[in-house]
Structure 1
Amino acid sequence: MRILFLSPRQCWPPHGGAKIREYHFLRTLAALGEVTYTYFADRGSAPLSRDDLPFVAEIVAVPKPKAYEIGQLVRGIAGRWPLSVLNYSSPEMKACVERLTHAGPFDVTHVDSIHLLRYANHNCKRVVYNWHNIESEAMRRYGESVRSPARRWYSSITAAKLHALERDILGEAFGHVVCSERERCVLHKIAPNARIAVIENGVDCAYFSEPDGSTPLDSLVFIARLENVANALAASTFARTIWPRIRERMPRLRLMLVGAEPLPAVQQLASLPGVEVTGTVADVRPYYRRAVAAVVPLLSGSGTRLKILEAMAARVPVISTAVGAEGLDAISGKHLLIAEPEDPEAWTRHITAIAANESRDRICEAALEFVKARYDWDMLERKLKTTYENWFREKT
């Protein structure tokens, strides 16, 4: 079986939620057939090689096009395609896909983002989309979470364009893979006959569950891609409105904002008392080992958060908004704690109780057993392999 795998990013090294999910999908598909991995490479970065991804048959890198150009912004408002799709406009990628498909037909085209729909090989009978989230939902929620009227308006029209594209894709493609049962229900309301499988986001439990009882617990951590606007907004809101109250109760505690390429608004938070912004780190585990708790103060988004699963596997209690924990079958009060941005006192109450170990051990043990049973990548890779084997066995 020949498989064309299209990606908007390079998945190695697999740091960050989307890269981690993509890496495990790529590895699983490579066990099913001969995979040609075609991806957009950051300009100036070294291309991936078979040393990085030894399980794929071929690796093809295409320079990532410039994004957010004035012309793209205008077309994103006036035209059919939303800006998030126009950002991936690339004659090089179009030519690359044409060259690859003319060299020999692919049995399956795997598209790792709906933003690449214009490169999907629709001459191939089986086009499968991996939905890291529901893009229209994430955009709509972002618009609802910001105060700027211009951003709210722009988010609204972009969400509508994305929804229209999602409806078309659901009707045209062979299959779809989503992160949660909730998302499958949402998409089935749009397209009742669509073939949709749930493959949850996962975590390498063995990698994270290395206890280190000698390390002092002296911080809160928010680990996320801090160039992402939803994560940046969450970090800013927490640091400016919730953190000061927590610090009043626990003046020795630090807030660690850990993640690659933080936006300027996040970098500025380092000037606040007790706040540190790390930027890119090679290994997040040392930050978990020092954490009283992991906070996930998201106000918007879609999909499911690998950062929650990682913290649970690392035996770190999680305090999240309801949106942040959405899509996971975790129970508040048992596997994690829920608090909302408009209630700083709830965050403070939860964190002081955990710091006093009133509930820490109980929550950590329950959460660890939860992720081992439901979200370990070894189990999810087997589930994905079975799903694809059943799909690819079908006649079209």
Structure 2
Amino acid sequence: ACEIAIDLQIEHPHLSKLYNFALSRKEKADNDLALQDHYKKLQEFPENPELYLELGKALVEQNRIDNAIIFYQMALQIQPDYAEIYFEMGNALKAQENFFQAIECYRKAIEIRPDYCWYYNGLGDILKSTLDFDEAINAYRKAIELESNFAGFNHNLEAALKEKERIDSIKDFCQDFSHPRKSKIEDGQSLKILMVTSYPPYPPNSGAPMRMFEEIKYLGSRHHLVVVSFIFSEEDYAIETELANYCDRAIMTMLGAPYSARNPNDPKQIYRWHTWNMRKILEELRIIDFDVVLFDFIYLASYVDLFADTYTVLQEHNIESNLLQQCALASKETSNLEEIAADVDAVKAFLDADKEAKLLQDYEKRNWPKFDLVTLVSESDRKQLEERCPKAKTLVVENGTDTIGITPVNNTQARKMLFMGNLAYYPNIDGVMFFVEEILPKIWEQDPELVFCVAGRDPGKQIQELAKDPRIEVVASPKDMSEVAKDCMMSVVPLRLGSGTRLKVLHSMAMGLPVISTSLGCEGLLVTEEVDIAIGDDPQKFADGVVKMSRDGDFRDQLRLNGLELVKNKYDWKSIFSNFEKKLLSM
């Protein structure tokens, strides 16, 4: 019905059908007296366009936008030159991400009533969302001309001018960077590489940012590297400066408006990450003759079409649909996922996990073959991908750690257990709560003086409230995890959900902390139980392992030293990315 309604050339014979369809929905408003009143007035005065307008606005407030558009369209059948109806329909279409149709509605409103400032402001807002800054600036200036005393119009104009300046600076960079560059390596020609990430690689204080940052450091030191990342706060534009020493150019962009209305066959995260902001920036960067384009995470696959003539690599940190499947099973056993999501925005990605996992499986299978290469972090992930998508070309590029920059700790007097990780990430939240609720009481039965330290970025209310117990510490967003680790005796990894491999295991070993983990927590790593790691898959065994490690200094030292040796020999970032570089150079 909505698709019919938004066709501005609708024929009158359809009107009664739409009217009946819309009125058939009124049973949904039985408990809304205001809507009931709107319907009654409309039935009494069906030729009054004002009533259609007011009902449409009331429906929009209830997020019933399809029905609102129907009533707006019916009002236009009665009074085709009603500017305010076009304006409100533009607002409704914009809310549905039908941007081009919304723009036409705003323009029609202005055509009918060219002396009303708010219509120009509405047009400016949507043009700015689609990064048509020249037209947006003209619209805002017209709004100011009509109403110079409203500060909001000036604010919108300043924002548009500022964003246009950012895009213009990117255009200037592209012109300069498209020229030949001097090689940074003695034994060959440096590549021109574009790296696109779904969230910022700095600061490197949790798993994925650590990996991305280390890759930027290595490739940027030997090749001509441009990094483009989504950010979620205006303050994070400062990351461009932080990364300036590691690459030729870092470009941060806010998420912005979705590029199109959501395809019901695509996962919600694909829809969320395909935006006007990123697409515009990548379109500008296409004038550079990149040798390689690296995309981190399947959620950026919607941009691969922009680089059809370039060697493209999808860098999968996890098989994301596997992770969603695990969360779907876990959510059936726990009832607080929605509560956590209300507190921690990032957890919303795991809502509706069962449905989303199935959609993402199909999306992965369709899109993996579009890349010239797909990298995985473990052999187990690689085997799963190849079983599901035999056409995809794959390569394992393991996770690693900084074996040179991290100074190992060895506090023999420490009495703390450390869990570290991104505390806005649902598998980590689940792991912490599993440890606190099911493992920690069993530990305290045997050793009530052991302290549990939870350290990581962006802890939500549920994690922060754990600190009400004096034996639990929560360290929010530490600048240096080694400073936290120096007061700890071991690292615990009680994860029940996850894919890929966990950098927290390797990072803990590099810091000199012995590790006890679930099997899933150390999955995909070349570890040996009781040699370089302790493993406990049920709460009692995990608790017993913690107590043993706290009491047995020789066992603790054995795991500590063997863990250090393991990461130095097999999981050094420089060695890992050097091998990956050879693949890129031989493509």
Q: Same fold (TM over 0.5)?
A: yes
Out of 96, 105, 113, the position equivalent to 2:297 is 113
Partner of 1:274: 471
- Structure of greater relative contact order (alpha carbons < 8 Å, 6+ residues apart): 1
User: In the alignment, what sits opposite 1:394?
Assistant: none
Alpha carbons of 1:378 and 1:262: their partners in 2 closer, same or farther (altered >3 Å)? same
Instruction: Judging by fraction of residues, say which structure has more strand.
Output: 1
* Distance in 2 (alpha carbons) for counterparts of 1:208 and 1:51: 20
Contact 1:219 1:253 in 2 (8 A): yes
Is the deviation greater in 28-37 or in 195-204? 28-37
Map of 1:171 onto structure 2: 369
CA-CA distance at 1:160 after TM superposition:
1.1
Match of 1:98 in 2: 283
Give the letter aligned to residue 298 of structure 1. Answer: L
C-alpha distance in 2 between matches for 1:345 and 1:41? 41
CA distance in structure 2 between the aligned counterparts of 1:259 and 1:153, rounded to whole angstroms: 22
> Using the alignment, how far apart are the partners of 1:104 and 1:370 within structure 2?
41
Tell me the residue number matched to 1:63: 254
Question: Do the aligned partners of 1:132 and 1:179 also contact (CA within 8 Å) in 2?
Answer: yes
Partner of 2:567: 371
Q: More helix by proportion, 1 or 2?
A: 2
- Contact map agreement 1:43 1:64 (CA 8 A) in 2: no
Correspondent of 2:542 among 319, 330, 347? 347
- Any idea what SS the aligned residue of 1:248 has? helix
Out of 195, 206, 210, the position equivalent to 2:393 is 195
One of 354, 379, 389 as aligned partner of 1:181: 379
Larger radius of gyration: 2
- Tell me the alpha carbon deviations over residues 361-381 of structure 1, each in whole angstroms, 9 at most, x when there is no partner: 111111111111100112112
Q: CA deviation at 1:27?
A: 3.0
Paired residue for 1:259? 456
2-structure distance, mates of 1:156, 1:290: 41
* 1:39-79 deviation per Cα after TM superposition (whole angstroms, max 9, x unaligned): 11222224233553324222222112489xxx99xx5xx71
Aligned residue runs from structure 1 range 222-371, under 5 A: 222-340=419-537, 343-356=538-551, 357-371=553-567
What residue in structure 1 maps to residue 200 of structure 2? 10
Which residue of the partner structure matches residue 54 of structure 1?
A: 245
What's the counterpart of residue 58 of structure 2?
none
- Pair 1:130 & 2:315 matched: yes
Give the Cα separation in 1 of the matches to 2:223 and 2:507: 30
In the alignment, what sits opposite 2:21? Answer: none
**Which 4+ residue blocks in structure 1 deviate beyond 4 angstroms?**
148-153
Select which of 75, 79, 86 maps to 2:271: 86
Q: Is the 8 A contact 1:184 1:196 kept in 2?
A: yes
SS in 2 for 1:308: helix
Unaligned 5+ segments in structure 1 are 392-396
Distance 1:370 1:231 in 2: 24
Which amino acid in structure 2 is aligned with residue 354 of structure 1? M
CA distance in structure 2 between the partners assigned to 1:387 and 1:267 by the alignment: 44
Structure 2 regions of 5+ residues with no counterpart? 1-190, 339-349
Contact 2:455 2:476 in 1 (8 A): yes
Q: Give the residue type in structure 1 aligned to 2:231.
A: A
SS at structure 2 position matched to 1:276: strand
Shift in alpha-carbon separation, 1:51–1:20, aligned structure 2, 3 A: closer
Distance, in Å, in 1 between the alignment partners of 2:221 and 2:484 is: 34
Which residue matches 2:220?
30
CA 1:227 to 1:51, structure 2 compared with 1: closer, same or farther past 3 Å? closer
The equivalent position to 2:234 in structure 1, one of 39, 44, 54, is 44
- Aligned AA for 1:7? T
Normalized against structure 2, the TM-score is what?
0.61
Structure 1 residues 176 and 31: alpha-carbon distance in aligned structure 2, compared to 1, 3 A threshold: farther
Question: 1:236: how far off?
Answer: 0.9
Q: How many residues align?
A: 380
Residue identity in the other structure for 1:95: K
CA distance in 1, matches of 2:513, 2:408: 11
Q: CA RMSD in A?
A: 2.3
Using the alignment, how far apart are the partners of 2:193 and 2:359 within structure 1?
A: 29
What is the SS of the residue equivalent to 1:365? helix
TM-score computed with the length of structure 1 as normaliser = 0.89
Q: Is the 1:65–1:88 Cα contact (8 Å) retained in structure 2?
A: no
